[in-house]
Amino acid sequence: MDFFDHQARARRRTLLLVLYFLAALTAVAAAVDLGAWLLVRWLRPELGLIDWLTSENGLWITVATLAVLIGGSLRKAWQLREGGPALARLLGAREVSANPEDAGERRLRNVVEEMSIAAGAYLPRLHVLPREDRINAFVAGLTPSRTVLVVTRGALEQLDRDELQGVVAHEFSHILNADMRLNLRLLAALAGILAIGKVGEFLLHFSAGDGHRRGNAPFAVGGLVLIAIGYAGLFFGRLIKAAISRQRERLADASAVQFTRRPDGLAGALIKIRNGPGSYLHSLHAEDLSHMAFAETLGLRWRRLLATHPSIKQRLTDLGADWPARARARRRRPSAESDAAPSRRIGRLDDANLGYARSLLESLPGDLRQALHTQEGAECVLYTLALGPVAPPPALRTGRRGELVERVRGLGTRLRLPLLDLALATLTQAPADRRPVILRQLRAITRQRSQEDLLCWALGAMARQALADTGRRGPKPDIHRLSAVAGEIQVVFSALAWAGDSARTTALAAFQRATRGLLPAGRLLLPPDRCPAPRMEAAVARLARLTPLLKAPLIDAAADLVLSDGQVQVAEAELLRALCTLLECPMPPLFSQPLNNI
From CA 215, how far away is CA 221, in angstroms rounded? 11
DSSP string, 407-456: HHHHT-STTHHHHHHHHHHHHTTS-TTTHHHHHHHHHHHHTTGGGT-HHH
Longest CA pairwise span in the chain (Å): 119
DSSP string, 97-150: PSS-SSHHHHHHHHHHHHHHHHHT-PPPEEEEETT--S--EEEEEEETTEEEEE
DSSP 3-state assignment of 323?
helix
From CA 192, how far away is CA 198, in angstroms rounded? 10
From CA 456, how far away is CA 477, in angstroms rounded? 27
Q: What is the dihedral of CA 278, 282, 284, 290, to 10 degrees?
A: -10
From CA 389, how far away is CA 367, in angstroms rounded? 23
Query: First CA to last CA across the chain, in angstroms?
Result: 47
Question: What count of other Cβ atoms lies within 10 Å of the Cβ of residue 555?
Answer: 23
Q: Is 171 a catalytic residue?
A: yes
In this structure, are residues 186 and 174 in contact, taking their beta carbons and an 8 Å threshold? no
Sheet holding 146-152, edge to edge: 94-95, 125-129, 146-152, 137-143
Q: Shortest CA distance to 90 belongs to which of 286, 301, 375? A: 286
What residues does 125 pair with on adjacent strands?
148
From CA 75, how far away is CA 92, in angstroms rounded? 20
What angle (nearest 5°) sits at the alpha carbon of residue 378, between those of residues 376 and 384? 105
Report which DSSP code applies to 519.
B
Query: Of 132, 171, 249, 572, which one is the catalytic site residue?
Result: 171
331 backbone dihedrals φ, ψ, rounded to 5°: -105, 80
Report which DSSP code applies to 38.
H
In this structure, are residues 306 and 238 in contact, taking their beta carbons and an 8 Å threshold? yes
In this structure, are residues 238 and 190 in contact, taking their beta carbons and an 8 Å threshold? yes
From CA 137, how far away is CA 168, in angstroms rounded? 8
Catalytically annotated residues: 171
